[in-house]
Amino acid sequence: MDIATLLGVIVGLGAIGWGMTAGGSLSTFWNLGSVAITLGGAVAGTLIAFPFSRLKEIFKIGRKAFIDSEADPETVIATLVSFAEKARRDGLLALEDEAQQLEDPFLQKGIQLVVDGTDPELVRSILEIELSFLEERHKQGQSVFDTLGFLAPAFGMIGTLIGLIQMLKNLSDPSTVGPNMAVALITTFYGALIANLICIPIASKLRVRSSEEILLKEVIIEGILSIQAGENPRIVREKLEAFLSPVRRNGRAAHVAAAEGQQVVMGSGR
């Protein structure tokens, strides 16, 4: 579970709920007709905008915003460096059995292409084509939530207009003006809440997840081509760590230095 996403939802709902109860009862902000107009209208508009084959996966796509990213560049770099060491020691064909045990299909495909003796430029081309289509699929998922975030406030405004029209029809009874105005404004509130607390943040988190996965795939591509070129494993590590942020690189360097220092101490103790 992604703590940041969960915490954001809890804090957002808590703050808004506290603000709502500070001036009255929560029941004041509940209106079933407003929910139907705002949420139903946004969903209907999204159904019109996208094919059903994409929409039926919306919960699977949205779930990615609430789970920790599986992308771990450091682990992938360590795997690629170990493959580079084995390839220099035993040859590229020695990687075939280990490639079959990999859980990442993208990395497995790349290693298999290298083992099969595919031309380096063709290897890069195949993997980059797959990467570009992966990015396009991610953008399609993000666009669903972007559309929901765009339509929800619009249908909230439509609900407000409907409520105002109904209110103006009953101006002869001044006692109904206040309650009818409150109901009219609730739809705008619903639209803003759905867009700004749910849809737009989820779309943004999906973009972050996509960028993390694309970075991981780019690391894999460079690592595979370096292995195929027979580069020194140390050079492979230095090249791939260039993809990491300075903070992560420095953190890893400190970890390695500490590990090496511990080995020296243990060796001197013997």
Q: What is the DSSP string of 74-134?
A: HHHHHHHHHHHHHHHHH-GGGGHHHHHT-S-HHHHHHHHHHHTT--HHHHHHHHHHHHHHH
Q: Is the pLDDT of residue 50 over 50?
A: yes
pLDDT class for 65, splitting at 50, 70, 90?
confident
Q: Which two tokens mark 148?
A: 């929901």
pLDDT at residue 69, rounded to an integer: 67
In this structure, which amino acid lies at residue 61?
Answer: I
pLDDT of 97-150, one tens digit each?
Answer: 888 888 889 999 999 999 999 999 999 999 999 999 989 988 988 999 999 999
pLDDT of 7-21, one tens digit each?
Answer: 898 999 899 888 888
Q: What is the mean pLDDT of the chain?
A: 85
pLDDT class for 248, splitting at 50, 70, 90?
low
Decide if 206 contacts 145 (C-beta within 8 A).
yes
Q: Is the pLDDT of residue 67 over 60?
A: yes
Rounded-to-integer distance, Cα 188 and Cα 196, Å: 12
For range 28-43, the mean pLDDT = 90
Helix (H/G/I), strand (E/B), else coil: 257: helix
Domain range list for the chain: 29-253
Those residues whose C-beta lies under 8 Å from the C-beta of residue 36, and which sit 6 or more positions away, are none
For range 204-209, the mean pLDDT = 91
pLDDT at residue 70, rounded to an integer: 63
Query: How far is CA 230 from each of CA 117, 129, 264, rounded to the nearest angstrom?
Result: 13, 24, 30
pLDDT at residue 158, rounded to an integer: 92
pLDDT of 75-92, one tens digit each?
Answer: 889 999 999 999 988 888
Helix (H/G/I), strand (E/B), else coil: 58: helix
For range 228-255, the mean pLDDT = 79
pLDDT class for 249, splitting at 50, 70, 90?
low
Q: Which two tokens mark 180?
A: 């009818």
Q: Is the pLDDT of residue 1 over 60?
A: yes
Rounded-to-integer distance, Cα 148 and Cα 39, Å: 9
Q: Is the pLDDT of residue 266 over 70?
A: no
Decide if 100 contacts 122 (C-beta within 8 A).
no
For range 163-188, the mean pLDDT = 81
pLDDT at residue 188, rounded to an integer: 92
To the nearest 10°, the Cα dihedral for 189, 193, 199, 203? 120
Rounded-to-integer distance, Cα 35 and Cα 48, Å: 19
